[in-house]
Amino acid sequence: MTTAARSNQTTSMSAPGDALQVSARMSVFLAEELLPLMAGLWPASSNLLDCNARGVALAWGSLLKGFNAQQIREAVLQLGEDADRQFAPRPAEVRGVILRNNPVPRAAPVGRQVSLRVCEMEAEVRVFLRDRAVPADSLAWELKQVLAEKVRQGATITGGGISLLKELPVSE
């Protein structure tokens, strides 16, 4: 049984040189609860989840950063209700379910700031829900749409790379 001494510790779950880190609490949640839950819901994926636990934990920990264990658990259980599903979901699918269950407010009060990363995540989820894949060109187009919506709603976009995106035309 793995235990975490402190919740503010981070555990490097990657090879030397990789910058990916997952909090100790997230590591414990992934190892002791999420991976066994997914192996139970999708037995066809149990060998993959077991033999590649480190890679699965890295992918889930990095892609679902910012979501709490309850949100992740609920999304996985919701995906587990699909009787036709044979294999465990990808982290992007779980993120999409979480965002669908906990939508970002659509109307921004005047002066509200929204980070570019939030807009990127929203665009990625929209493309994923539509296409089940996230090609770069579709993501770039959808990101322009999301940015235009946020600006129309009165939000200020913060973060790097905005100057490049302003030059791209946005079709409405």
Residue 1 is predicted with a pLDDT of 40
Interval 47-73 mean pLDDT = 78
Residue 91 is predicted with a pLDDT of 83
Interval 11-32 mean pLDDT = 61
Interval 121-127 mean pLDDT = 87
CA distances from 149 to 84, 143, 152, 167 (A): 36, 10, 5, 16
Convert the pLDDT of each residue in 138-159 to its tens digit: 888 999 998 888 888 888 888 7
Q: Which of 157, 4, 26 is nearest to 91 (CA)?
A: 26
Q: Are 137 and 161 in contact (CB under 8 A)?
A: no
Interval 49-57 mean pLDDT = 72
Query: In this model, does residue 9 exceed pLDDT 50?
Result: no
Query: In this model, does residue 72 exceed pLDDT 70?
Result: yes
115 dihedral zone (left: phi>0; alpha: psi -120 to 50; beta) = beta
Query: In this model, does residue 12 exceed pLDDT 50?
Result: no
Q: Are 36 and 10 in contact (CB under 8 A)?
A: no
Residue 114 is predicted with a pLDDT of 83
Interval 27-34 mean pLDDT = 79
**Proportion of the chain above pLDDT 70, given as a percent:** 73
Instruction: Give the domain ranges of the chain.
Output: 20-103, 104-172
Instruction: Give the highest mean pLDDT range of 14-28, 45-59, 141-155.
Output: 141-155
